[in-house]
Amino acid sequence: MPKTLTCFITTLLLLAPYAQANTDAAEAAVLAWLEAIDRGEYELAWEKASPLLQRPLSPNMLERTISAARRDFGTVESRRRTRVINETSMPGAPKNDYREFTYQTRFSNKPNITETITPHFEEGVWKVSGYYVQ
């Protein structure tokens, strides 16, 4: 095997645990944020959010927006991650380290909802900067 290819493969193998740990930390932030939303603790969710989410939305606006989006869904019964994508930029946001998590979520009144949550890494911490529901 050529030396260059060996070095490349070795680098990938060494970085894989770091990338997984980074994704795990990002998902932990996402799930904590979602739990606050699920419990109706919008002020806490706003405080844990990124300035990219905080600037355009006050805590009350965050509550109204998410409540309107999830109006008839009922309570969360289950949530299963279906995808995670690593990104270095998002529309209208500065270049940074982003993840895009997609979950299939079962609500009591809507059994098949897709939630997409985008955290980004800032000042050594993952913070949610976007939430979309379909």
Tracing tokens 């509550």 back to the chain, one arrives at: 63
Q: Half-sphere exposure of residue 8, counting CA atoms within 13 Å on the CB side?
A: 5
Query: What confidence tens digit (pLDDT) does each residue in 87-125 have?
Result: 776 666 666 778 999 999 999 999 999 999 999 888 889
**Residue 7: is its pLDDT beyond 50?**
no
pLDDT for 18 equals 39
Residues present in the chain in total: 134
Query: What confidence tens digit (pLDDT) does each residue in 44-77 have?
Result: 999 999 998 999 999 999 999 999 999 999 999 9
Are the CB atoms for 89 and 61 separated by under 8 Å? Answer: no
pLDDT for 17 equals 39
DSSP assignment letter at 88: S
**Spacing of C-alpha 51 from chain mean position:** 14
Three-state secondary structure call for residue 36: helix
